[in-house]
Amino acid sequence: MPPSNFDDPDRTRRFRDQALPYLDDVYTLARYLLRDASDAEDAVQECYLRALKHFDGYRGPAMKPWLFAILRNVCHAEYARRANAAVPSLDDLPEPAQQTPLWREEQQTPEAEILRERDAATIRRLVEALAEPFKETFVLREINNLSYREIADAVGAPVGTVMSRLARARAMLRSAWMAEQEPPK
Amino acid sequence: MTCDEAEILLHALIDGELDAGHAREVEAHIAGCAACAAELAAYRKMTQEVAKADLRYTAPPALRMKIDASLPKPLPKPIPRSMSNAQGQSRRSILQGFAMGSALSALAATGLVAVVLRADDEQRIMSEVVSAHLRSLQAGHLTDVVSTDQHTVKPWFNGRLDVSPPVIDLTSKGFTLVGGRLDYIDARAIGAVVYRRRQHVINLFVSQTTNMEKRPAKTETIQGFNIRRWSDRGLNYWAISDIGADELNEFGDKFEAAVQTNTEG
């Protein structure tokens, strides 16, 4: 079933060498965006097919942000499918039920502010629960290790927007983290 | 700078995305604002915790194979997972994602990423070194403490930095000690020891590094300036000047030799 432009071996090899190393990165982002392992797999596969198809026209940005940009489009489509036509785009809102409480007024003393260590599973859950577009910004920065410029390329937003989203994302995560900390024994 | 601005910019400070000038402004604000200092500390801590926890996912082997199969020409066989441990921990977990790749792509990718990162970082720092040097050449910016006496310049740094840069008078070797200055590179306060060779200024930037290994000198030319960079005993050095590369190397060699004698004698 591979389309005809798949058959240039040199091109395919270049694509393979450049894009395949980022498979785990792309899959990681897909898991956070879609919160479902099998949807993430489908999205990643679709992402690589589309990337190969457009590889000829690819002139940059760097491979990683480029793949993320494609994955994001695929995930848009998946959101749309889930919503059965009516439209939450990645740039406005996700499932509202999952929204983290927004920033909390900072009245605590520095002592009270200390974040307790959490295990990876807990942090992962807190990150997954962040609202978009803050979650993707956070994941791209803290988990996929992109620079601000690369994030801007991947999400198609100005760097300033990336900065304010990241500040917001961290504030949200911190609130959730602190809330989690109050031991509900 | 207002708290509102600092609230956004402190994240860029944490992420190392600010240029020296802005970093300085944010740090100045934070130094005088307990609330923002607490914010910075809390976010730093959170970022460290997040980095420490491995939050990445690994693509299932079946997915890798499926994608692989959709591309003609199979790859060489996958390497076992355990090999990934050999890569050591580089900046955060950036390399972990490549652990499951084919031997070929994993190698290519780690090599690529390591090179890109180092180039990025080093390039950024190099260009900051150049900017700092240029700034220092503007009237009145060259020195905070003016003295040709190493016993005046060296103590001046005490309490201003978390390191004590070696200050060595090389006047007898043809490089006159002029003084010292605090500067900012890579969002951190850094010591600059200033020398003169004829009419030319040499800035020697010294910062702390956790790496105790000795790194031999490398000389590069950026924007017409020669930069000689080396590391020794937990300190990074950048000597920058518009003198020729050979003269700058002579300076570096004499400096290193003098440090050597000082620590041994």
Q: Is B114's Cβ below 8 Å from some Cβ in A?
A: no
Q: Is the peptide bond before A21 cis (omega within 30 degrees of 0)?
A: no
3-state SS class at B99: coil
Do B46 and B134 share a structural domain? no
Q: What is the pLDDT of residue B186?
A: 76
Most confidently predicted of A86-90, A104-108, B53-57: B53-57
Q: What is the CATH number of the domain that holds B196?
A: 3.30.200.100
Domain boundary among B33, B51, B69: B51
Neighbours of A97 (CB within 10 A): 6
- In this prediction, residue A113 has a pLDDT band, given cuts at 50, 70 and 90, of low
Q: Tell me which residue in A13, A48, A167 faces B73 most closely, judged by beta carbons.
A: A13
Do B142 and B258 share a structural domain? yes
Q: Evaluate if residue B255 carries a pLDDT over 90.
A: yes
Closest C-alpha to B255, from B222, B228, B234, B215: B228
Q: What is the pLDDT of residue A109?
A: 46
CA distance B250 to chain A (A): 38
CA distance A144 to chain B (A): 7
Task: Give the separation between CA B26 and CA B10, rounded to whole angstroms.
Answer: 7
Please answer yes or no on whether B54 and A20 come within 8 Å at the CB atom: no
Q: Is A127's Cβ below 8 Å from some Cβ in B?
A: yes
Higher model confidence: residue B74 or residue A32? A32
Find the mean pLDDT for residues B136-147. 81
- Domain-embedded: residue B34: yes
Please answer yes or no on whether A45 and B109 come within 8 Å at the CB atom: no
Find the mean pLDDT for residues B4-21. 85
Q: H helices within B190-241, ranges in order?
A: none
Closest C-alpha to B220, from B202, B245, B184, B197: B245
Do B150 and B24 share a structural domain? no
Q: Evaluate if residue A94 carries a pLDDT over 50.
A: no
Q: Evaluate if residue A93 carries a pLDDT over 60.
A: no
Q: Taking CA A129 as the corner, what is the angle to CA A128 and CA A132, rounded to the nearest 5 degrees?
A: 85
**Residue owning tokens 């393979």:** A16
Find the mean pLDDT for residues B126-132. 86
Q: Evaluate if residue B118 carries a pLDDT over 50.
A: no
Closest C-alpha to B32, from B5, B9, B12, B2: B2
The token pair that represents B99 in the structure block? 């652990």
Q: What is the pLDDT of residue B157?
A: 87
Domain boundary among B11, B29, B51: B51
High-pLDDT (> 70) share of chain B, %? 80
Q: Evaluate if residue B88 carries a pLDDT over 50.
A: no
Please answer yes or no on whether B55 and A123 come within 8 Å at the CB atom: yes
Higher model confidence: residue B214 or residue A185? B214
- In this prediction, residue B128 has a pLDDT band, given cuts at 50, 70 and 90, of confident
| Cβ contact B222:B134 at 8 Å | no
Q: Please name the residues between 35 and 54 in chain B that touch chain A, using a CB distance below 8 Å.
A: 35, 38-39, 41-43, 45-47, 49-51, 53-54
Record the pTM: 0.53
Task: Give the separation between CA B193 and CA B188, rounded to whole angstroms.
Answer: 16
Q: How many domains in chain B?
A: 2
- Domain-embedded: residue B105: no
- Domain-embedded: residue B122: no
Q: What is the pLDDT of residue A104?
A: 47
Do B43 and B149 share a structural domain? no
| Cβ contact A104:A181 at 8 Å | no
**Residue owning tokens 């050449």:** B137
The token pair that represents B74 in the structure block? 């199979």
- Domain-embedded: residue B187: yes
Do B257 and B133 share a structural domain? yes
Considering only B105-119, B136-150, B227-241, B247-261, which range has the smallest mean pLDDT? B105-119
CB-CB neighbors (< 8 A) of A173 in chain B = 46
Q: What is the pLDDT of residue A119?
A: 85
Q: Please name the residues between 63 and 82 in chain B that touch chain A, using a CB distance below 8 Å.
A: 63-64, 66-68, 70-73, 75
Q: Evaluate if residue B94 carries a pLDDT over 50.
A: no
Please answer yes or no on whether B57 and A28 come within 8 Å at the CB atom: yes
Tell me which chain A residue has its CA closest to the CA of residue B16: A147
- In this prediction, residue B123 has a pLDDT band, given cuts at 50, 70 and 90, of confident
- In this prediction, residue A90 has a pLDDT band, given cuts at 50, 70 and 90, of low
CA distance A56 to chain B (A): 15
3-state SS class at A108: coil
Do B28 and B136 share a structural domain? no
- In this prediction, residue A2 has a pLDDT band, given cuts at 50, 70 and 90, of very low
CA distance A87 to chain B (A): 28
Q: Is A8's Cβ below 8 Å from some Cβ in B?
A: no
Higher model confidence: residue B69 or residue B27? B27
Q: How much is the mean pLDDT over chain B? A: 78
Q: Please name the residues between 136 and 155 in chain B that touch chain A, using a CB distance below 8 Å.
A: none
Q: Is B100's Cβ below 8 Å from some Cβ in A?
A: yes
Q: What is the pLDDT of residue B163?
A: 79
CA distance A164 to chain B (A): 6
Do B141 and B257 share a structural domain? yes
Q: Evaluate if residue A74 carries a pLDDT over 80.
A: yes
Higher model confidence: residue A142 or residue B214? A142
Considering only A65-74, A77-86, B87-96, which range has the smallest mean pLDDT? B87-96
Find the mean pLDDT for residues A62-70. 90
Q: Is A49's Cβ below 8 Å from some Cβ in B?
A: yes
- Domain-embedded: residue B57: no
**Residue owning tokens 């923002």:** B36
Please answer yes or no on whether B15 and A17 come within 8 Å at the CB atom: no
Q: Tell me which residue in B38, B73, B97 faces A25 most closely, judged by beta carbons.
A: B97
Q: Evaluate if residue A122 carries a pLDDT over 50.
A: yes
* DSSP string computed for A31-56: HHHH--HHHHHHHHHHHHHHHHHTGG
Which of A5, A16, A45, A119 to mutate: most B Cβ within 10 Å? A16
Higher model confidence: residue B261 or residue B241? B241
- Domain-embedded: residue B25: yes
Task: Give the separation between CA A71 and CA A55, rounded to whole angstroms.
Answer: 14
Tell me which chain A residue has its CA closest to the CA of residue B111: A21
Do B133 and B35 share a structural domain? no
The token pair that represents B226 in the structure block? 């020669």
CA distance B232 to chain A (A): 29
Q: Tell me which residue in B11, B105, B120 faces A16 most closely, judged by beta carbons.
A: B105
Q: How much is the mean pLDDT over chain A? A: 79
- Domain-embedded: residue B76: no
- Domain-embedded: residue B59: no
State pLDDT tens for residues B144-166: 888 888 888 888 888 788 778 89
Q: What is the pLDDT of residue A60?
A: 62
Domain assignment of residue B14, given as a range: 1-51
| Cβ contact B48:B14 at 8 Å | no
CB-CB neighbors (< 8 A) of B51 in chain A = 142
Which of B19, B63, B87, B110 to mutate: most A Cβ within 10 Å? B63
| Cβ contact A140:A146 at 8 Å | yes
Q: Evaluate if residue B261 carries a pLDDT over 80.
A: yes
Find the mean pLDDT for residues A142-171. 90
Do B240 and B138 share a structural domain? yes
CB-CB neighbors (< 8 A) of A43 in chain B = none
Please answer yes or no on whether A28 and B70 come within 8 Å at the CB atom: no
High-pLDDT (> 90) share of chain A, %? 38
